[in-house]
Amino acid sequence: MNTYDQIYAVVRQIPVGCVATYGQVATLAGLPGKPRVVGYALYRVAPGLTDSIPWHRVVNARGEVSMSALRHGSDYLQRHLLEAEGIEFDPQGRLSLHRYRWQPDFASPQSGECPLGSISNPDNDS
């Protein structure tokens, strides 16, 4: 499995209504200290794979969508997709990592949860 495939395997596990940071994904993919590699990998997700790789659920360590002119507007799309999953942003454009950060269960990563859950994912309200 190549580096990008490792990253995509982690990102596929992030549940609806949750997010992970670039650094968190890097660590979980076995690439500690390489959050930019995660960013490069997600930038290269082919349009036909966006349904199977939820790239929009990865944000920066400040809980923000990383804005860049090189993204050709996909940064605005990212925020829209997150809001559609029930994730709320404050007036400064930040989401609460305390509330929405995915906490994988290492025994079964797909059973991980967000600490407080989200509106659109009632199974995570605990």
Question: pLDDT value at position 121?
Answer: 40
pLDDT digits (tens, 9 = 90+) for 47-91: 667 789 999 999 999 999 987 756 555 677 889 999 999 999 999
CB 5 within 8 A of CB 37: no
pLDDT digits (tens, 9 = 90+) for 5-56: 999 999 999 999 999 999 999 999 999 999 999 999 998 886 667 789 999 9
CB 8 within 8 A of CB 53: yes
Report the predicted TM-score, pTM, of the whole model to 2 decimal places.
Answer: 0.82
Q: Give residue 108's pLDDT band: very low, low, confident or very high (50, 70, 90).
A: low
More confident residue, 64 or 111: 64
85-124 per-residue burial string, b: 16 or more CB within 10 A, e: under 16: bbbeeeeeeebbbebbbbebeeeeeeebbbeebbeebeeb
Question: pLDDT value at position 104?
Answer: 87
| Euclidean distance between CA atoms 17 and 1, whole angstroms | 28
Q: Which two tokens stand for residue 11?
A: 């990102």
Q: How many angstroms separate the most distant Cα atoms in the chain?
A: 40
